[in-house]
Amino acid sequence: MRVMLKLVIDCDADAAWRALHSPRAVAELYGPLLQLEPLAAGGLPTRLEPGADVPVRMRAAGMALGDQLIHVSDRHVDSSDGPVRIMRDSGIPLTGPLAALDVWDHQLAVAPAPGDPARTLWRERLVIGGATAPALWPVLWGVWQWRGSRIRTLAPTWAHDPEPAEAVEGAAAE
C-alpha cells in the first residue's frame, strides 16, 4: 500500500534538501500534532547522515505512540527535467502500532520545479505492507496530508541562508 505526495514548494531545491536532512526540520513537519524526540543519550544529530541509525520516539498529546529507527541513504539521478536528489528512510518502526507493519519504505525526492528553479518539486512515497497495513493506511494517509500542509507552510523558512560573516562585518563598518 502506498501514500504519496507531490507538491511544488516555495524554496529552492538546495534548501529543501538541507531540510530533509535536518532532524529539527523533520520534527517541525509533524508539529504540533506529533512530537519527535531522541532516544539516544546524545540527542538528535544536527544532520541526518547517510548510513546513520537514529532512534526516535513519536508522541501525541504527551503519550508515546511508538519508537522508530530512521536510517537514511541518498542518491542522485538525472531525469529529462534535470537533477533529482532522493533521500530514502529505510528504517523501521520498533514499537507501537506501526511496528506491526512488515514493510516500511519512505522515499523523498526534490528537484528544481519545472520552469521555476527558485521553487522545488517535492515528491514523497511511503510504501507499507503487512496484515495491519489496510487498517493503518487511512491513518498514515491523514498524517501525510498534514505533512503536506506543513511542508507548504514551512518551506519558505528553509530558504534562509545567513549572510557570510565578512558581508555582515563590512556592512557594520560603513
Amino acid at position 20, single letter = L
Q: Where are the domains of the chain?
A: 2-160
Query: 92, 162, 86, 158: which is closest to 130 by C-alpha?
Result: 92
pLDDT in tens, 125-154: 999 999 999 999 999 999 899 999 999 999
Q: Around Cβ 72, how many Cβ atoms within 10 Å?
A: 21
Residue 169 clears pLDDT 80, i.e. is over it: no
Q: What is the DSSP letter of 108?
A: E
Query: 22-66, pLDDT tens digit by residue?
Result: 999 988 988 888 888 999 998 999 999 999 999 999 998 888 889
User: What pLDDT does 122 receive?
Assistant: 97
| Residue pair 9/134 in contact by the 8 Å Cβ criterion | no
Question: Which tens digits make up the pLDDT trace of 87-139?
Answer: 999 999 999 999 999 999 999 999 999 999 999 999 999 999 999 999 999 99
The pLDDT score that the predictor gives to residue 5 is 96
pTM: predicted TM-score of the whole model, two decimal places: 0.86
Domain 2-160 carries which CATH code? 3.30.530.20
**Residue with more model confidence, 63 or 80:** 63
What is the predicted pLDDT for the residue at 172? 52
